[in-house]
């Protein structure tokens, strides 16, 4: 029975992987068709599709994290405790509404700022905010300690609330509100990060690519949510997070290059061209990968790569002594 269940879960994982690959190939075919067989990176429509893909990846990544937290919260709420899932669900629904209200508030604030702040300065500022959010989302060090601690803290809080429940099993108001708050915070944190990230794309390209990317990300997130909470499938979340993390890494390098160039146009950064690299870096590299022959843009991209890889290496080095001690204890016993 266990082998059959493992085989089924593996099959669902392959189905999700196939759907992801099919979606990417479908988008490539679509862009190729729109461009007459030769995708042009300078085509505004093509850039909107690329932006939608970037947004979809981020929304899906954040959705996976929210599902992991919620799965940890509801893991043991079965049988007689199944009723405790309801306030958590209500909290998630409230967080969805709060995320939508946060989006409206962010749009209103930025649009008001746009009336008094030059467009280049506003785009540079929102782009810088998007970079910070993206680094936080995919940073290995951040997720290893803060995000893992976030799940543990929610799980401990849920356990404390359940231990304080009435002996007869009745749901007190304090327990109901506490579980609802856990559901709210587990979702709203991800939604808030997405809202901040999307403002840069909205200013540059408008609402349509943002909406397309959000819908694509929500589609795959909803699919995983149904498999997790309705079909009760154990999916390869860690592998899925790693794959989306690598994809976000490429997005990060491109965004950092674009952001550095925007800051140069807004005169926030100087522009120091490197003539030797101007011939080595073709123009299409700037169009596709935001790779420009200037000291500032290349340095910014290098720093972003070092930051993410450095944090990963730091965590791995710290894990080795603990893993070695665990292996020694297992061998001794």
pLDDT at 284 over 80: no
Whether residue 104 is predicted with pLDDT greater than 90 in this model: the reply is yes
Inform me whether the pLDDT recorded for 243 exceeds 80: no
Per the CB < 8 A criterion, the answer to whether 56 and 210 are in contact is no
**pLDDT band with cut points at 50, 70 and 90 for residue 90:** very high
Confidence check: pLDDT of 95 > 90: yes
When pLDDT is averaged across residues 311-321 and rounded to a whole number, the result is 74
Q: How many domains does the chain divide into?
A: 1
Predicted TM-score (pTM) of the model is 0.72
The contacts found for 309-317 with CB under 8 angstroms, 24 or more apart, are 311/139, 311/140, 311/141, 311/142, 312/140, 312/141, 314/141, 315/140, 315/141, 315/144
Q: What band does 102 get if pLDDT is binned at 50, 70 and 90?
A: very high
Confidence check: pLDDT of 39 > 60: no
pLDDT in tens, 173-229: 777 888 888 889 889 988 998 999 999 889 888 888 899 889 989 988 888 888 888
Mean pLDDT value across residues 7-27: 57
Is the predicted pLDDT of residue 170 greater than 70, yes or no? Answer: no
The pairs formed by 37-43 with CB atoms below 8 angstroms and a separation of 24 or more are 41/284, 41/287, 41/288, 42/287
Question: Rounded CA gap, 129 and 135, in Å?
Answer: 10
Q: Distance (Å, rounded) from C-alpha 160 to C-alpha 293?
A: 56
pLDDT the model gives residue 38: 45
% of the chain with per-residue pLDDT over 70: 73
- For residue 301, give its domain range: 2-332
Q: What is the pLDDT of residues 317-327, one digit of tens each?
A: 776 776 666 66
DSSP 74: H
For the residues 160-177, what does the mean pLDDT come to? Answer: 67
What pLDDT was estimated at residue 85? Answer: 83
Helix (H) or strand (E) holding 61: helix 44-74
Whether the pLDDT of residue 167 is over 60: the answer is no
- Please tell me which residue, 204 or 234, carries the higher pLDDT value: 204
Average pLDDT over residues 143-155: 65
- Bigger pLDDT: 300 vs 159: 300
Mean pLDDT over 288-293 rounds to 80
Residue 329: per-residue pLDDT: 63
């Amino acid at each position: 029975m266990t082998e059959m269940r493992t085989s089924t879960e593996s099959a669902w994982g392959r189905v999700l992987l196939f759907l992801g690959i099919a979606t990417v190939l479908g988008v490539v075919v679509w862009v190729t068709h729109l461009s007459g067989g030769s995708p042009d990176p300078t085509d505004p429509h093509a850039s909107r599709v690329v932006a939608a893909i970037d947004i979809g990846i981020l929304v899906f990544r954040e959705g996976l994290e929210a599902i992991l937290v919620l799965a940890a919260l509801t893991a043991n709420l079965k049988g007689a405790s199944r009723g405790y899932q309801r306030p958590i669900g209500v909290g998630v629904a409230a967080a969805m509404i709060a995320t939508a209200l946060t989006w409206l508030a962010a749009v209103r604030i930025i649009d008001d700022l746009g009336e008094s702040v030059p467009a280049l300065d506003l785009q540079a500022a929102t782009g810088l905010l998007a970079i910070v959010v993206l680094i936080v989302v995919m940073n290995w060090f951040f997720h290893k300690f803060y995000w893992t601690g976030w799940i543990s803290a929610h799980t401990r809080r849920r356990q404390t609330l359940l231990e304080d429940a009435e002996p007869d099993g009745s749901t007190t108001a304090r327990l109901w509100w506490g579980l609802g708050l856990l559901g709210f915070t587990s979702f709203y944190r991800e939604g808030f990060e997405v809202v901040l990230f999307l403002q840069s794309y909205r200013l540059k390209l408008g609402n349509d690519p943002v909406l397309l990317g959000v819908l694509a990300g929500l589609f795959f997130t909803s699919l995983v949510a149904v498999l997790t909470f309705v079909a009760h499938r154990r999916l390869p979340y860690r592998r899925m997070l790693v794959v989306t993390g690598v994809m976000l890494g490429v997005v990060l390098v491109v965004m950092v290059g674009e952001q550095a160039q925007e800051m140069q146009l807004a005169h926030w950064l100087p522009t120091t061209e490197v003539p030797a690299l101007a011939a080595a870096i073709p123009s299409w590299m700037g169009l596709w990968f935001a790779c420009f022959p200037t000291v500032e843009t290349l340095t910014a991209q290098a720093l972003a790569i070092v930051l993410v890889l450095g944090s990963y290496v730091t965590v791995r080095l710290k894990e080795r002594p603990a893993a070695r001690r665990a292996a020694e204890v297992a061998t001794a016993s």
